[in-house]
Chain A
Amino acid sequence: MVQSQTSTRKYTIEPLTRVEGHGKVTIHMNDRHEVEQARLHIVEFRGFERFILGRPYWEVPVIVQRLCGICPVSHHLAAAKAMDRIVGGERLTPTAEKVRRLMHYGQMFQSHALHFFHLSSPDLLFGTDGTASGGFSAPVELRHVLAVAAKYPELATQAVLMRRFGQEVIRATAGKKIHGTGAVPGGVNKPLATADRDALLAQVDQMLAWSRGALAIARDFTTEHLVELIPFGSFDSNHLSIVREDDGALDFYDGVLRAVDKDGTRVVDGVDCQRYLEVVNEEVRAWSYMKFPFIKHLGPEHGWYRVGPLARLNTCSVIPTPEAEAARREFLALTQGRPNNITMCYHWARMIELLHAIEVIRDLLHDSDLQGDDLLTSGPRREETVGVLEAPRGTLFHHYRVGSDDAVTMCNLIVSTTNNNEPMNRAVTKVARDHFTGRSDITEGLLNHIEVAIRAYDPCLSCATHALGQMSLVVEVHDAGGGLIDRRVRGGP
């Protein structure tokens, strides 16, 4: 509770909707209509890091993916990569490495499609007054994917079929669309069946065409509303991701740690993921179950950073597929080649990655290594291990220790969205200050502005604290002592 000398008005946005997971926002305003404090709270806790202890290590990739039903493959593979090292099998066979890569890029494809179309497009498509914020303030009955379907039936059909394609790639490699078992320590449990390959190949050109279209929508939306979008929830920050070891290329599955500051100076580069603790620490704050990571040598004050599509485009040197690389160059031209710190550019960056993912999937489907039968490898045992990859929402760290009896003795997870905790809080604060200051009446549409800023990050709050849910939006006005003097509920009785 904020104590101030004047009466404070508190706005609560709860539950956050059209994000993957469960959080709430509180905004405290004083009687001069100034924002005193704005916070994104993560309100659920599960305790994975404790109850995984004692379990056999080969169960871990299958258990931990239950952190998240949206990007389960990320957790499945990060844990599998960690367990590869436990069994001394980190140099996978070509078949295993490529089957996993296909699984991961399939996941990237479905998750980015889901986020753009199912969750964010209502904010981007309903700006009927020619402004971007017109869409942010669209009537609540329009702000969901089925309303998009009613107005843009072709787009909705594409969205559904694109997500289905990504999910089919996952099913063909993991055995199930959600929470499969395909990646096992030291490899995979099956190759890609030719029947599955052929079914996917038959659709891949259509997916490429639709991905180009999705990219064009995101790019045009951004460039047409630049004046509005440049300041919206934006701020300078560091950016972190893994990049391919030899050339710094964008790579979702494997690489070394790189971070750049707001000007593009590399503050971390070429760091082996096994040494992630030398780069990243996490701060605990009493008002959120989600921790606050920062780059260790820069400290909690200045070391916080962003991850995800925007960060990856700012850190990588090149995208190793031609169409996405051309799109990256166009994207960077907007900021004269320097890092892009515009929060709303996350959407554009995400669609460049969508195009990259389908280019990679296409190439993999043509690779006969995926039908190989050499699936597993192993070597000398290790006790401690780190598995890192780029999940749809950013860098994902899995760190384990496993005893000689095969039981897990330590588990530390830094999930993608946790990395974006501080940036999301800053985005919330900035939008609140820019749009609420001086106003006595905060409308439902204005409150959605806050969520638009959070949605740009595509936060998987489910992962971050294993949390989901729904509550009403409540506006409470408190007096100086914190007593409630007025209360209004959004969304009817």
Chain B
Amino acid sequence: MQFVLDGKTITATPGQTILKAAEAAGVYIPRLCAYKDLIPHGSCRVCSVRVNGRIQAACVQTVSSGAIVEHDTEELREFRRDVIDLLFVEGNHYCMFCEKSGLCELQALAYRFGITAPKYPLLNPKRDIDMSHPDVYLDHNRCILCGRCVRVSQDLDHKNVFQFVNRGLEKRLQVNGEALAATDLRVTDEVVASCPVGALMKKRVGYAVPVGDRPFDAQPIGADIESGKGGVA
């Protein structure tokens, strides 16, 4: 089957999402919550595209034959920029000392979109850091509620360590116990490597990768897909 992406005809397999079909054709649609082969979540909205005129999340929307998909337009770029911007101002993202700098997907997206300053007022919320677990820590300051850890813990680790509680601005990531130490999380679990930002991190790794050698120091996120080498996340 075929559909049209930004005026170009793309061939896709039935049931394939727009995100995956575009990726196969060497087109990178920005995304944050999409991860490996997890069932897509559609929560971050960074991959929003217009399908036959309607805004849809490319990670969950499957391709329909003959669909007209707009992806790289000024309107959508601005929409995505705003989504990324909001993720920054709603948390406390101190990139300057975060050990995830240069490896962080949120930061790399902001670089790709050329964001130089927050457009919206910084909320400076009061957030906690959970240091209780011997090998893993959870810094809520940096959590963007993408739900990757919730799904990886359930679907790949077959545990249920993380869940969301509350709604709207009060929404939080909650662990299944008093604190991380009370859960059955192990440092070897898949979930530990799944966080796109610096929220869920293996302890005592710190700044092992020197500045300059980090993945996003030299090339933008998505460059691997655009060069036809396949996606990472």
Among residues of B, the one whose C-beta sits closest to the C-beta of A58 is B206
Q: Which residues of A contact B203 (CB under 8 A)?
A: 56, 406
CB pair B210 A175 closer than 8 Å = yes
Segment of B59-67, B81-89, B129-137, B147-155 engaged in the interface with chain A: B129-137
B residues in contact with A176, CB < 8 Å: 211
For B94, the closest partner residue in chain A by CB is: A63
Is A255 at the interface (CB under 8 A from chain B)? no
Instruction: Kindly provide the distance from the CB of B37 to the nearest chain A CB, expressed in whole angstroms.
Output: 32
Give chain A nearest CB distance to B142 CB in angstroms: 12
Q: Are A406 and B211 in contact (CB under 8 A)?
A: no
- How many residue pairs between the two chains, A and B, have CB atoms under 8 Å in the bound complex? 53
**A58 contacts B207, C-beta separation under 8 Å:** yes
Give the residues from 99 to 139 in chain B that come closer than 8 angstroms, CB to CB, to chain A.
99, 129, 131-132, 137
Q: Evaluate contact between B208 and A180: CB separation under 8 angstroms.
A: no
B8 within 8 A of A: no
CA distance A18 to B211 in the complex (A): 31
The digit string for A392-411, where 1 denotes a CB below 8 A from any CB of B, is: 00000000000101110000
Contacts known (A58-B99, A59-B99); A181 close to B131, Cβ less than 8 A = no
How far apart are B177's CB and chain A's nearest CB, in angstroms? 15
Task: Enumerate chain B residues within 8 angstroms of A406, measured Cβ to Cβ.
Answer: 131, 137, 203-204
Q: Which of chain B's residues have a CB closer than 8 A to the CB of A190? A: 210
Given A54-B129, A181-B207, A181-B211, is A59 in contact with B97 using a C-beta cutoff of 8 Å? yes
Q: Is A66 an interface position by the 8 A CB rule?
A: yes
Q: How far is the CA of A181 from the CA of B217 in the complex (A)?
A: 14
B165 CB–A CB distance under 8 Å: no
Chain B residues, CB < 8 A from A184: 206-208
A189 at interface by CB-CB < 8 Å: yes
Bound form: Cα–Cα A419–B99 in Å: 32
Q: Taking A56-B137, A175-B212, A179-B96 as contacts, is the C-beta distance between A62 and B131 under 8 angstroms?
A: no
Contact of B209 with A by CB under 8 A? yes
Mask, A55-70, CB within 8 Å of B = 1, is: 1101100110010000
**In whole Å, how far is B103's beta carbon from the nearest beta carbon of chain A?**
12
A182 at interface (Cβ–Cβ under 8 A)?
yes
Task: Name the residue of chain A whose CB is nearest to the CB of B217.
Answer: A175
CA distance A185 to B206 in the complex (A): 9
**Interface residues in A, total, Cβ within 8 A:** 24
Residues from chain A with Cβ under 8 Å of B208 in the complex: 184, 189
* Cβ-closest chain A residue relative to B207: A181
Which residues of chain A are within 8 angstroms of B205 by Cβ–Cβ distance? Answer: 58
Known pairs A56-B137, A58-B207; A63 contacts B132 (CB<8 A): no
Contact of A181 among B129, B132, B137, B210 (CB under 8 A): B210
In the bound complex, CA of A179 to CA of B97 (Å): 9
Q: Is B207 a contact of A62 with CB atoms below 8 Å?
A: yes
What's the Cα separation between A63 and B207 when bound, in Å?
A: 12
Measured CB to CB, the nearest residue on chain A to B128 is: A54
Residue A62 contacts which of B97, B132, B204, B210 (CB distance < 8 angstroms)?
B97
Contact check, B211 vs A58: say whether CB atoms are below 8 A apart: no
Interface hits, A25-67 → B, CB 8 Å: 54-56, 58-59, 62-63, 66
Interface positions, chain A 174-225, Cβ under 8 Å from B, are: 174-176, 179-182, 184-185, 189-190
A68 to chain B, nearest CB (A): 14
User: Which of B129, B132, B210 has a CB less than 8 Å from the CB of A182?
Assistant: B210
Question: When the two chains form their complex, are residues B206 and A59 in contact, meaning their CB atoms are under 8 A apart?
Answer: yes
Contacts of B131 in A (CB 8 A): 54, 56, 403, 405-407
Q: CA of A405 to CA of B128 in the docked complex: distance in angstroms?
A: 14
For residue B210, which residues in chain A have a CB less than 8 angstroms away from its CB? 175, 181-182, 189-190
Question: Could you mark each residue 168-208 of chain B with 1 if its beta carbon is under 8 Å from any beta carbon of chain A, else 0?
Answer: 00000000000000000000000000000000000111111
Q: A180: nearest residue on chain B (CB-CB)?
A: B211
| Most central of B132, B137, B205, B210 by chain A CB within 10 Å | B210
Query: A56: which B residues are within 8 A, CB to CB?
Result: 129, 131, 137, 203, 206
A-B contact pairs, 24 of them (CB 8 A): A54-B131, A56-B129, A56-B131, A56-B206, A58-B99, A58-B207, A59-B97, A87-B204, A174-B211, A175-B210, A176-B211, A180-B211, A182-B210, A184-B207, A185-B204, A189-B208, A189-B209, A190-B210, A406-B131, A406-B137, A406-B203, A406-B204, A407-B129, A407-B131
Q: Contact residues of B with A, CB < 8 Å?
A: 96-97, 99, 129, 131-132, 137, 203-212
Assuming A54-B131, A189-B208, what are 15 further A-B pairs, CB within 8 angstroms? Answer: A55-B129, A56-B129, A56-B131, A56-B137, A56-B203, A56-B206, A58-B99, A58-B207, A59-B99, A66-B97, A184-B206, A189-B207, A190-B210, A407-B129, A407-B131
